[in-house]
Structure 1
Amino acid sequence: MHLVLRVLCFSLLIPGCLSSTGEIAIGCAQWRTSAGSPDICCESCHPGNRLVTPCGPDPKKLCVPCRNETYTTDTTSFSCRRCTQCVGGALTLKKACTRSKDTECDCKAGLRCGDGHCSFCVQECGKGQEPLPTARSCRNCPVGTFSDQIHEKCKPWRTSCPHPHEHIVALGDAVSDSKCRITNNSIPQVITLPTKRGSEDEPRSLIEVSFHHPQQEQGSSSETLHSQDSETKLLPV
């Protein structure tokens, strides 16, 4: 009965039973009991704590925080790891180490992390370039390829267009793909108007032209002929 009451006390008063160092709570976070034993056994320490002993009467003493400049991400580990140091002329500090998380490093401008942990830096390739697979530098995209993103592998120019009515109208360059555009495949027809008046029964040209003459007073026969001659000069049919 005494054991049950003590476990109940730990469960209800766990925030009061645990102190904190900064944002790190001290001690065991989850534990289990064994029938017939006064001790409890820790299953998981608080983040940033390492395990001291698996079982004991006090959950606060089963785990202790990592020391300065050390950390752990494993809540069941018996040891802490030393924090990474961002050393060298290319690396810079992004986020300082905490007891539950390692240091985050970054690279200076013009460089980028060479791996997921940013343990080294490589040259950042611009558009029209690609990173060399076996080196930490860049090369220009070979002819027939392009790169329109920062630090990406060059891709070959397209050889066909995505839509059936499009055609390649311009080849690409180092930073852009070949360009497609909808074009008219029909052969343009040249229409020439005849220079002599033909019969009224002959078919007219496909180009339709209309004129509107303003009304005027009836003139002499010579004025009428002059008007007809002007019409003939304007529109030979």
Structure 2
Amino acid sequence: MHLKLWNLSLVLLIASMFHTSVRTENGCADWLSSEVGICCQACHPGNRLVEKCGPDRFQLCKPCDPGTFTTSPLKKFCNRCTQCIGPRVVVKNCTPSSDTVCDCKPGFRCGNSQCSYCVDECKKGEEPTTERTCRKCPQGTFNDQIHSKCTPRRTRCPDEQELVSISDPSLNNECKTKASTLATARTTPLEYNTVEPLQTTKKKKDDTFWPVVGVTGSIFLLTCAFILALWFAYQRAKNTTNTETKDLQPETLPPEELRVMIMEHDDACSFRQPEQEQGGSSESLSTQDSESKLIL
């Protein structure tokens, strides 16, 4: 108790010394002349209003006493300077025209905009309570920020991924690629890992399709033309052979001319003996009869 009083006295002493070291212009800063004298419209910063009107403008406003301040130009009293005690520390000392600026020690945080009190600074995985303390994130929530509210965890993942639960209250649940998807991706990397190469491959196939069709059609037409040329050449050769064979065959003679030729041929090629030529009349007759029969 005595230690707290000693600290408070020391703070007031330091504040009063600083307060007296700050120069404050006395009196009224803005005034108007009237029938009753000078009427003050606004005091200098750090001065309180003593009288609204009077003969001396410097007596109308007076500076705040040490350890007090005012921010109003026409306020008749000054406020006591704030004391930064407990976990609070002084950031800026009090002046006649401004209050003390306080902040909290490490591990604490200002409870309001004026930092009139400090609260425990909640770590990751915790959230502040209305009792100015911290509590662990409830089940199904997490917090990865300093001194903020916990938020619900992730409960769903895309179809190709599976949910991985995390027990750390400062981390959210994760989505991990399924093992089956990874195995398929290894076997067919172009199908599952990239989309642009597939589109490029398809485009290349489309670009080469019609040229291949054109070349194949040209080869087919040339083949057909070659086969037709061979067939015409074969028919021409066949016709030529038939004509030559027909020219080589003997001309057909009438039957009578053919018999005469055969007889002449036999007479020319027969070589008889003298005895045979002088044979009996019966043999000659038979021969003549035969010849006559042939002639008939």
Q: TM-score, normalising length from structure 2? A: 0.47
Kindly provide the amino acid, as one letter, of the partner of residue 44 in structure 1.
Answer: A
SS of the aligned residue for 2:30 comes to strand
Quick check: which has more Rg, 1 or 2? 2
1:109-160 deviation digits (Å, cap 9, x = unpaired):
2112223333332211111111122x23211111221212211111112456
Q: Is the contact between residue 155 and residue 163 of structure 2 (CA under 8 Å) also seen in structure 1?
A: no
Q: Structure 2 CA distance, aligned partners of 1:33 and 1:178? A: 75
SS of the aligned residue for 1:53 comes to coil
Q: Partner residue of 1:107?
A: 104
Q: Structure 1 CA distance, aligned partners of 2:123 and 2:69? A: 37
Kindly provide the amino acid, as one letter, of the partner of residue 32 in structure 1.
Answer: L
Q: Structure 1 CA distance, aligned partners of 2:90 and 2:185? A: 70
TM-superposed CA distance for 1:94, in Å, is 2.0
Q: Is the contact between residue 167 and residue 181 of structure 1 (CA under 8 Å) also seen in structure 2?
A: yes
Alignment match of 1:175 (pick from 143, 163, 170) = 170
Q: Partner residue of 1:65?
A: 63
Q: Partner residue of 1:75?
A: 73
% identical equivalent positions: 49
Structure 2 vs 1, CA of residues 167 and 73 (structure 1 numbering), >3 Å: closer, same or farther?
Answer: farther
Kindly provide the amino acid, as one letter, of the partner of residue 117 in structure 1.
Answer: Q
Give the number of the structure with larger relative contact order, counting CA–CA contacts within 8 Å between residues 6 or more apart: 1
- For residues 42-191 of structure 1, the aligned pairs below 5 Å read 42-88=40-86, 90-133=87-130, 135-159=131-155, 169-171=163-165, 173-179=168-174
Structure 2 vs 1, CA of residues 132 and 58 (structure 1 numbering), >3 Å: closer, same or farther?
Answer: same
Structure 2 vs 1, CA of residues 44 and 182 (structure 1 numbering), >3 Å: closer, same or farther?
Answer: farther
Q: Partner residue of 1:214?
A: none
Kindly provide the amino acid, as one letter, of the partner of residue 24 in structure 2.
Answer: I
Structure 2 vs 1, CA of residues 165 and 59 (structure 1 numbering), >3 Å: closer, same or farther?
Answer: farther
TM-superposed CA distance for 1:75, in Å, is 1.4
Q: Partner residue of 1:22?
A: 22
SS of the aligned residue for 2:58 comes to helix
Structure 2 vs 1, CA of residues 144 and 28 (structure 1 numbering), >3 Å: closer, same or farther?
Answer: same
Alignment match of 1:41 (pick from 29, 32, 39) = 39
Q: Is the contact between residue 27 and residue 43 of structure 2 (CA under 8 Å) also seen in structure 1?
A: yes
Q: Structure 1 CA distance, aligned partners of 2:147 and 2:28? A: 46
Structure 2 vs 1, CA of residues 169 and 77 (structure 1 numbering), >3 Å: closer, same or farther?
Answer: same
Stretches of structure 2 that go unaligned for 5 or more consecutive residues are 1-19, 188-296
Q: TM-score, normalising length from structure 1? A: 0.57
Q: Is the contact between residue 156 and residue 163 of structure 2 (CA under 8 Å) also seen in structure 1?
A: no
Q: Partner residue of 2:242?
A: none
Structure 2 vs 1, CA of residues 26 and 179 (structure 1 numbering), >3 Å: closer, same or farther?
Answer: farther
Kindly provide the amino acid, as one letter, of the partner of residue 43 in structure 1.
Answer: Q
SS of the aligned residue for 1:25 comes to coil
Q: Structure 1 CA distance, aligned partners of 2:24 and 2:56? A: 18
Structure 2 vs 1, CA of residues 137 and 21 (structure 1 numbering), >3 Å: closer, same or farther?
Answer: closer
Q: Which is helix-richer, 1 or 2? A: 2
